[in-house]
Structure 1
Amino acid sequence: MSYFDEAYEKTMEHEGYYSNDPDDPGGETYKGISRIFNPSWDGWKLIDLYKTIDGFPSNLKFMDNLQKTVKIFYKLKYFDVFCGDELDKNLAMKMFDCAVNLGTYRAILFLQKSLNVLNRNEKLYKDLFEDGSYGKKTHTTLKTYLITDSSELLAKLIMIQQGNYYFETMRKSPSQEKYARGWFNRIYL
């Protein structure tokens, strides 16, 4: 069973709509999709067209073709990459939100680190190479873990790392503190 629709709705509560914040490293964004990091996304052509129509940017939320483009983008780029359809609801939703906000590399890296600390010094399974890539070994190790252990604990460890990433980001770049409440509201243990 796929939890994508529910994960998508929950994550979109945090993403907002159109933004072009000079303090945001992603620059121009729509529903969390950054033009800097995703310049070839098909939605930018639609947004550029809608910029010429009265009511921009509030008109964007009423453009069904744009909303479908957003949802397809998120499913393919941020949910399917870690086989979200094969996970339980809690873990799928948390992995998806982390991937959307911090990128798939960090979400998968946090998963790998969490699996490694939960393997009882390699008694349950071998340590994974922590490379942020969801390959066959990560998939098999996750499935092995889930046979006997709680996805809830695994999800908590991922969220703890996500929260720590936010702390470190703000310590290095105090201008990012304005995002603190929004970022930390994503951490639900």
Structure 2
Amino acid sequence: MANFDKAYAITMAHEGGYANHPSDTGGETYKGIARNHNPNWKGWHVVDAAKRNASGTDQLNRILSANADLQANVRTFYKANYWDVNRLDQVSDQLLAEKLFDIGVNMGVGRAARMWQEAVNLTNQNGRAYADIAVDGIVGAMTLKRTNEHPRPALLLQVVRALQGERYLNIMRNAPSQEVFAASWFSRI
């Protein structure tokens, strides 16, 4: 079954440290945790205190990275809210679990689950391999069964990646100000 720590390491390489980009709809972020979407995250008081003592973003990131309690808090936050929610520990394909975790962090766990379910349906040879599953954003027994018994797991992963790219393109088409994130987003595919 899939390993959270491997997925977490990959996603954290994308998320980096502290950022406050004016075009980011999530607003201020630390390791990808957006203040606008997670205003009650208990790590914000540590970030705020460090901001008062840092002379710039590089120093701020060094201070925050050295705080073992904060780093453990970040890991716990991601495990509970992005890994466990979509039951990724029950996915047999590590690469697929890593991809779904990263999409969940970047686009939301419900969207990641729906992309996953859509990919399962799109790769069932028009229902000849198995019946379609519900695309409801809730990972249940059937989503896991169809995934873990999938006859072509590499194809399933490719379709999930294609859906991820399609989402990024649609965001940029509908909100051109978001094009500033294109290089970062597409590095995740």
Runs of 5+ unmatched residues, structure 2: none
Q: Secondary structure of the residue that 1:120 maps to in structure 2? A: coil
Runs of 5+ unmatched residues, structure 1: none
Contact 1:90–1:152 (Cα < 8 Å) also in 2: no
Instruction: Please report the RMSD computed on the Cα atoms of aligned residues, expressed in angstroms.
Output: 1.6
The corresponding residue for 2:15 is: 15
Matched, 1:84 2:88: yes
Identity fraction in percent: 42
The corresponding residue for 1:174 is: 176
TM-score, normalised via structure 2 length: 0.90
The corresponding residue for 1:38 is: 38
Deviation of residue 60 (structure 1)? 1.1
Q: Secondary structure of the residue that 2:53 maps to in structure 1? A: coil
In the alignment, the residues of structure 1 paired with residue 133 and residue 45 of structure 2 have an alpha-carbon distance, to the nearest angstrom, of 40
Contact 1:2–1:84 (Cα < 8 Å) also in 2: yes
Q: Structure 1: which amino acid aligns with 2:101?
A: F
Deviation of residue 21 (structure 1)? 1.2
Deviations 1:1-38 (Å, cap 9, x if unpaired)? 54211111111111121111110000010011101111
Contact 1:90–1:151 (Cα < 8 Å) also in 2: no
- The alpha-carbon distance between structure 1 residues 123 and 2, as it changes in their structure 2 partners (threshold 3 A), is closer
The corresponding residue for 2:106 is: 101
Deviations 1:65-91 (Å, cap 9, x if unpaired)? 111111111111111122222222111
The corresponding residue for 1:67 is: 71
The corresponding residue for 2:121 is: 116
How many matched pairs?
A: 184
Segments of 4+ in structure 1 off by > 3 A?
none
TM-score, normalised via structure 1 length: 0.90
